[in-house]
Structure 1
Amino acid sequence: MPAIPATTHAHQVQRANKQGQLISWPFQKVMMMGNVVQGRNALGEFFMLSLNKEFYCPEAIMKSCYALTDDYFIHVVKLTNDSTGIYFYNKVDNAYDIGKAAKNFLQLLNENQMRQIVLQETSSLHEEIIKKAFSPAVSFINVQNKSDDLTILVSAV
């Protein structure tokens, strides 16, 4: 790893070893870079994680947010045209570990983004499999069922 110049704020947080390599990369470095902001507002204590919209689709962001709703109240806002802010408010009054929560969210976000990519790449194959699976059901559709949008046989084929 390249050495961090002594003028950067990260160097004050953790020193490099004698070979100029950073021993570990603390989460505080990310917080100082502005990706994570901790604070308090009218809704209470929060931490905000900013995300670049070019890297993550809205579906992946919202699925990841929903997965953490047992532990946090979550508020998603548009920061700029290129970034989204995710505010996390703890549901219980206990102190929370920002690093752990952010890592958990980012792991979920990466998983959900990958699922969206796979879904986009395989959607035509998925549709073809569904058509083939329900093709025997086409013979059961009569005139009355064709006009009913709630009939599963019509919606499946």
Structure 2
Amino acid sequence: MTAPNETPELERLSELARTRGLRVSVAESLTSGRLANTIGAGESASDWFAGGIVAYFTEVKERVLGLTPGTDPTSAACAEQLATGALRLFEADICVSTTGVGGPGPEGGHPAGTVYLGWATAEDSGHRRLALTGDPDEVLSASVDAAVRLLAFHAESLHPAGPRRGSGGED
């Protein structure tokens, strides 16, 4: 039976993570847990979804995820740093982050609907900028959908994980 949030992209991500032994994580500001909720509904998520962190306060982003002080919270740099920080925190193979302005009005000089998704793997990181329209709920839903697509896209290029971190092997 398909979960209510199940989409073709989530099914694809679930399949890739399971068959390749990937560990997936998320870091959220804008989406306030919606992305983790969606990813957690993926098939056998308990086998591959390491978890997520919701960090609204800038000082939490700095202290827990390593955001450089003074970074614009609605920026490509912020999105990439959040993804990289959560990748390390969860010892994941891939991470996607969400940050931006959900609306209904502008914030920090950025119009409503300005969203940045960050992504990180052990080899690379990057971002995608979205300019969304609609009410805050529509912006958040579109952000989550785009983040799931981004995770699935980057999971395609990842190879099976090696020995799991922290699994011993050292004397």
TM above 0.5: no
Q: Which has the larger radius of gyration?
A: 1
Query: What is the TM-score when the length of structure 1 is the normalising length?
Result: 0.29
Query: What is the TM-score when the length of structure 2 is the normalising length?
Result: 0.27
Higher helix share: 1
Higher relative contact order (CA 8 A, sep 6+): 2
